[in-house]
Structure 1
Amino acid sequence: MRKQCQENIVFDVSQACAPLYHWRTLKPTPEKDPVGTCYVAIQNFSAYAEYSPCRNSNADPEGQGYCQAGFSLDFYKNGDLIVGGPGSFYWQGQVITASIADIIANYSFKDILRKLAREKQTDVAPASYDDSYLGYSVAAGEFTGDSEQELVAGVPRGAQNFGYVSIINSTDMTFIQNFTGEQMASYFGYTVTVSDVNNDGMDDILIGAPLFMEREFESSPREVGQVYLYLQVSALVFRDPQILAGTEVFGRFGSAVAHLGDLNQDGYNDIAIGAPFAGKDQRGKVLIYNGNKDGLNTKPSQTLQGVWASQTIPSGFGFTLRGDSDIDKNDYPDLIVGAFGTGKVAVYRARPVVTVDAQLLLNPMIINLENKTCQVPESLFPVACFSLRVCASVTGQSISNTVGLTAEVHLDALKQKGAIKRTLFLDNHQSHRVFPLPIKRQKSLQCQDFVVYLRDETEFRDKLSPINISLNYSLDESTFKEGLEVKPILNYYRENTVTQQAHILVDCGEDNVCIPDLKLSARPDKNQVIIGDENHLTLMINARNEGEGAYEAELFVMIPEEADYVGIERSNKGLRPLSCEYKMENITRMVVCDLGNPMVAGTNYSLGLRFAIPRLEKTNMSINFDLQIRSSNKDNPDSNFVSLQINITAVAQVEIRGVSHPPQIVLPIHNWEPEEEPRKEEGVGPLVEHIYELHNIGPSTISDTLLEVGWPFSARDEFLLYIFHIQTLGPLQCQTNPDINPQDIKPAASPEDTPELSAFLRNSTIPHLVRKRDVRMPEPHRQNPAKILNCTNIECLQISCAVGRLEGGESAVLKVRSRLWAKTFLQRKNDPYSLASLVSFKVKKMPYKDQPAKLPEGSIAVSI
């Protein structure tokens, strides 16, 4: 339906078309041609007429037999009708225009074939234009600057299937200008609409391409559809198109585009775009886009969904759209949505828009905490305060004389939930208030007043950040008239929140802005810590302010993961005992010290913070303590950043010691003779035991050490000290070369340790005992110089031991049980000998990321 004006007569026009209407041709054949037809009704259906421009003798596909007139239609502003017939002339298509008055005046039920005198049609084109579908969509607008409207027609299969839209002269039906699609088979021109979107007085063109495929990933294109907006700059000059893209695959976004008029009363026309197969169960959607000075907002302000439509078949909700008609006479344009799958049409009535102008007024806006002019009602406690005024006015088309608003005020609104609110309403001691605010439409600002006070300054720290006060308003639906079917809404392009700020007066000069100059220096009491040591560390810190007051000033010390905070240094009277506490934010551990609120100009603090550093095994060569002073001031709030590097080193003092028992042997032995070929251990000779201890004094740990013993085994094929058993205590794994007991002599049971050996072992640390004292090995008494036999002049058996992890204070012990091969020495009576074993160690590795430049090693000789 459309209101038309012709020859000074205003009347409503309704038109319905049947583009698949068939009629039997004049030829003697049984075929029927889909010529299409339309019915036009005026003056509330008091008069109507049929209009079928393609029902004529020019039948068959090569003529107008398949015209399908009425496939699309629109009206000129003077009331003339525009009809699209995309099937004419082998589906080249055509556009036909006629006067409504002529259609009504010349209508005769008996006259089947009629030709109107002022009817205009586009002519047949060359064969290359076949299957182009001119007239698939039509619209009217003014584009040449002559005040005469042109018609616009979509040709979705023209231009080699890229599609195009033509501007056609309404006088002689000649083609003036084309807009061509960017993608083949996108059906560019499927729909076309004209609207002055940006309110510049010139008509703009919107073109739908519902089959456009998004090719962000070439291997998997997505059919989402697009709509192109061409803003007219001057006569037949347009900007590059603004593109609105669909978001749902196969939703056919852009199947319908409708001019709505100004829905939200902002001075710009709005547009509806249909996506008839989008949404849940493909029930369809209609998206509303609001206009602005630059075109259309890229995000829809509202989405209508066909939730009421059929769930068994696609409803096609949004397949057709018609807007810019005030059906319910409330001075707002309404929207008609067709859903062909359900055989239904939905009418969406526009709601009146209420625009609110709200204000928050504070007096004074800078509060002096010393100026306590108000009293808390219950206690009469004096407090600083200020007045708060909430004001509002309303405007809108077709709204009530009185509009009820609900106002909500939050004091100190930027403070997080649970934080102390610095300001409260004086009458109820709350920081939040909800109250009704009725506003009369004819009046200007209407206000309500409140008194707000500040808590005592001992109850909060933040004196620098502004006190943010927010006003949020909404429509009070309880004030709507009963039976009101279309309720008003707030203008959603106007923020419904108003904020204002008050400030606390601080000692920062006339501008009330403090600019501190914070300085920070620090040094450790030691520059190096040792892995395995107790590692107590004190940071000596100096913090000072050489500028204006620093509010909520705090010292932040970031603690490395290897360290733990112990406390402040109290033994030095020259250090200030500040209040410091351990905190953790996310995974960052820190110590935070209060430096004052404010930290006034000229402040100079020296303090010490004590730490323990127990976890160094898995760290690198150094750790860092990061320090900074921070304040809540807006300008220059922080000090310089200080990073203290503490070097880490591994130090292990390792020693080797040994003992022989007995320390000496005198041959021959009373009442004993060696066997010629001994079969048992006792027949070899006297028992000789050597014990070697590898001791890690610490403090660091060693993890891989090689312990080697050169054992005086034989000389000139005669045995010297014959080994029967090797015993280890601690993390040792040993092997010999050559094997021990090569004569396969039966070993005796292991004897008990002698008191001397027991004393040696008691002073060892096996397993994991701290050695209490060293035991000096007794020196053998010799009257004559003895001949020394060692690995330099005899054959030695090699004992190699891999020593595992030894913490500081732990030891590993190797015990060798042997027999002096008496036969060898009885042949050389009266000759004294000294048999020496050589034991050595070499630390190969410590269990840390970084190894010391030099690892411990050493050796000793143990003689009998």
Structure 2
Amino acid sequence: MAIAALVSLLLMKHACAFNLDTKETIVKKGPADSFFGFSVALHRQASPQAANWLVVGAPKAEGLSHQGAKSTGGMYRCPITDSTSDCERVIFDNDVDATKESKEDQWMGVTVRSQGYGGKLMACAHRYEKRQYVGESAETRSLMGRCYVLSQNFKIDEKDEMDGGGWKFCDHRTLSHARFGVCQQGTDAAFTPDFHYVYFGAPGAYHWKGVVHASQKNNTFYEMDIFNDGPYETGDENKHREELVPVPYNSYLGFSVDSAKGITDQKRLSFVAGAPRTNHTGAVMILKIKPPHMLEPEQIIYGEELASSFGYDVTVVDLNNDGWQDLVVGAPQYFDRKNEIGGAVYVYMNLQGSYDERSYVRLDGAKDSMFGLAVANIKDINLDKFEDIAVGAPYDGEGKVFIFLGKRSGLEITPTQIISGSELQHRIQQFGYSISGGIDMDNNVYPDVLVGSLSDKVALLRARPVILPTVYIVSIEDIDMEKKTCKNGIDICMKVQACLSYKAKPDSYNAAEDIKDKLRAIPVELSYHIKEASQHQPLQVDHTLSPVLDVSTRKPVTAKINFIKEGCGDDNICQSEMSLRYYYCSHSEDDTFDRLKRVDGHQVLSLKDQKTLALEVEVENTGDDAYEAHFQLVLPHSVSYGGHRKKEVPEDFQLVCWGNENGSLADCDLGNPMKRDQRISFYMILGTSGINVDTYEINPMLKLNTTSEQPGLKAVEAKLKVVIELSLAVTGVVRPIHTEFGGEVKGESAMKTEDDVGSLIEYKFQVMNTGKSIGSLGNAYINISWPAEITNGKWLLYLVNVTVNGTLDTSCHPGNRINELNLQSIGNEYDWNRERRHTHELEPVVSESKVERWSSQREKKVLDCLRGTARCWTLQCSLTGMEQSATVLLRARLWSSTFLEEFDNISEMEVITRAKIGITTQGANIIMKNAKLHGYLVRLMVSPEMSIQPYQSIPWWIILLAVLAGILMLALLILLLWKCGFFKRTTHEMQYEAKYHKAKIEVQPSEKEKMATEA
């Protein structure tokens, strides 16, 4: 019974504590009242010497000597030692320009991050201020925020453009609270797991809507936009459209961030951002990259409780090991009075690329505990193949951290371990304010956990190896009280047989199958001794003394065990003859490979938009078996190892290659042994992200290694020349294509307006970039050879105005050659968007005989600067900032007086204008694809005015109306004539008949009668 009780007690103890050690924790103390522990990170330095560090942010730490501030905050690093006071401040950001910035209370260290083994470090100050108009009444201060990136040794590498404090993307933008004046960049920030991007949360942008910004910045083609790889931002990094951020004002999007592949697509990177004040409940947004500059929302999950701060912290973790990232969201201000809940954590299982916001597991904390203030993916702390999480509750007592394990069905909702700040050797208050995990700091394979607090202390909780015992009883005999079964014949005895087995990780420190050296014999040494009796036993005179070994037999027995080597010579000595050949190949997304062309004996990489290339390797062994055969690839900084693909390998052979953390070294196991006459060929995939404008060639080192005898096996330099290919093309058109000159001759002084000069001519040149954008490779431009004069200096084409669209820089030079005479503009211009009529509607209709008679007396002439028949000057327009296309519009006038004076006997003239693309760059390896020697030609046809006017077709409805009007007028005229008797016919008799006029005689009244009548 006592044994059973002891076993139960031990099992209960281990079930409660599990494998994060709380007895021998490593505790570090920082400066008082500095908030040392506000943020934490684990970091492993690889060079110049290997070291493990605890990285701690202290955002209220005192200012450095040259920062001009009392409190600026900072970042500390602490070694893995027993001492509590050996942390040292990392010195950077130790300067200030008081006319432009302020670092007082900038909170440097509010966020600290590490890329892991041999990676970069980052520290942010989200309250960093930009100052304008200092000392004036209009002085402004903008809380932009700022982040620093440091190399793995905590220093800023001046040669690495990624290092330094240039990470302040809200700078040079509209600095108002409605836009980017209170960005607070760096409230949270991180590196993506694939190290391609660094991304930031800026919850203060757009009236505190908030944004997430992701950028790839180093001296590579990503930074130079050749791969069109960002930067990306919610609301579009280029257009800055706040309506594309689908959350209301005061949402604080970007307050917490995380990223991974396997969120919505197992091969595509997604970002997760918390917005803890969206709709007063909080929300979490899933974002994807949408080129060229957009982080586009894929899904939004909203909180359920008012003022719960859902999204205060977020993390993604594969809890059930299905290859999809599950989502964990902290809501530290969740409150349930009835159940006394003070903080919650929501766990959403990934449904193969999406989350059901109605299906979740909610973990609840104690009242007023702020459970969920910090949530962290701590990787697989017990090595059961399921990732685990840690949850901080800094106000649960003196602060606690809860460990939840993943499992096949998702999450074990009961915490397997609860660690309180009060139970540690050095008590810590507000324990659990920040958490970082996932990296093994004591080299025992198990990842450890670093926990921060608000009491200026941090604690490293190291994970202990886990032993899995299996105990079972195999046989039990029944007890017969009638039989005295003991040897003394008096007592009753029984036999119980039990078996005990266990599993541990690592499984074995000397696994037989992992033996690599099969050439040298294995030495075996056997020694033995007699176990002495305990010295603490009481003296017994009659006790038999223990025996002792003979002195001559105390030497250990040794032997050697040899391996059978079938593929070697009769002398059992293996003399291999390994050789290699290599070829560089292009690599497409469907894993097809084509060998690159050779120029002057070397292969040449014409880099356009490909992100990877391949190195084809052929290894052949024509001698004895080559034991421990390896292929090693050492890469320069311009390329990195990105995997391998098989080409030709034996059926029973499994090619295994692995690389180091930064991709500068790769090693492939070619077999142990690689047998005689065996040939292996494969592709090494190389990332080209490190190639820059200064990269003229790539020189990886290829080396074969074997423990068999093969003298003279030297490394081979695989040289590859690099050229950067730009695909820029220009086309041009002139409207109208054909123009005429006429009128009278006028002198230059008589010209007052454009119309006085001559016909309107407009040129349109379009520049297309069929590859990727030029970025910072150089400054592209277009040169237009403008035919301004004829050979005697008289005007030819007079340039009035130039307009550039699609670029950041719209200037053209020399500007003083545009509208030199300052003629008054009349504003008319060609409509480039209207539909073109059919050709027969535009061309004049002239009889052939008249054309022949007119043109036979005249000549044809070409006005071309290249032929010496015209004089040109070069108009250069900048294409800086052009993405895919840009246009240059030139409005000009044909100088009619010159043509009237000089070319009155010329029937037709052709004026040639040329345009050519160029680029100013310091890189000698940059070439223009399909660049024409003399540029693109645009032809303008010019002829004198003709006496015959061109016929133009009349619309049918005008003809119809004219006919109807004519008929109506004719009808009215006929009616009028008819009324007048115009249509009455005269007979023959009526024409000659005599007409008589009769007189009528009447009696006149007398005078008397007239007077009577008047009376």
Output the TM-score relative to the length of structure 2: 0.35
Higher alpha-carbon Rg: 1
- Highest relative contact order (Cα 8 Å, sep 6+), 1 or 2? 2
User: Which structure shows the higher helix fraction?
Assistant: 2
Give TM-score scaled by structure 1 length.
0.40
